[in-house]
Amino acid sequence: MALTLDIVTPERRVFSVTVDEVRAPGVAGGFGIRLNHEPFMTALEPGRLTYVEGGREHHYAVGGGFLQVADNRVIVLADTAEAAADIDVERAKRAFDDAQDRLLRLTEQDGHYGEESARVRRAAARLSVAGR
């Protein structure tokens, strides 16, 4: 038996791969999944999704979404998903700085506060995964 990981975004199917383990940023905290895990579904926070394949870790920045586990299959429906190697660090730094500047000009009561806060978290996740 094997554990299969599928990552899908609104734009495309990112990949499907057989893995040993998945670690993800859940809204209630990070968690891990291995073979024969109990079925469940949870919302994801922007952050680092890691999968282990043959003893080697692979890292993706996910921008939130949902994760479902059932029958040794992990399905990630992510708002965005980007491999560490594909992240343009300079662009990610600019996006983080811009989002943080916009957020600092708002109060929590502002209608756009949640949206700008999410942008900051997504940009921070991309920088973290890129190793910066």
For the chain, what are the domain ranges?
A: 3-84, 88-130
Cα dihedral angle (124, 24, 31, 123), rounded to 10 degrees? 10
Sequence-distant (6+) residues with CB within 8 A of 70 are 39
Give the three-state DSSP class for 90. Answer: helix
State yes or no: pLDDT of 132 exceeds 60. Answer: no
Would you place residue 131 in the very low, low, confident or very high pLDDT band (cuts 50, 70, 90)? confident
Comparing C-alpha atoms, which of 68, 55, 54 is closest to residue 24? 68
| Angle, CA 33 vertex, CA 86 and CA 61 arms, to 5° | 20
Question: Around Cβ 35, how many Cβ atoms within 10 Å?
Answer: 11
| 129: its two tokens | 């995964």
Mean pLDDT lowest for which of 64-68, 115-119, 125-129? 115-119
Summarised one tens digit per residue, pLDDT across range 3-39 is 999 999 999 999 999 999 999 999 999 999 999 999 9
| Per CATH, domain 3-84 is 2.60.15.10 | yes
Summarised one tens digit per residue, pLDDT across range 55-84 is 999 999 999 999 999 999 999 999 999 999
pTM (predicted TM-score): 0.88
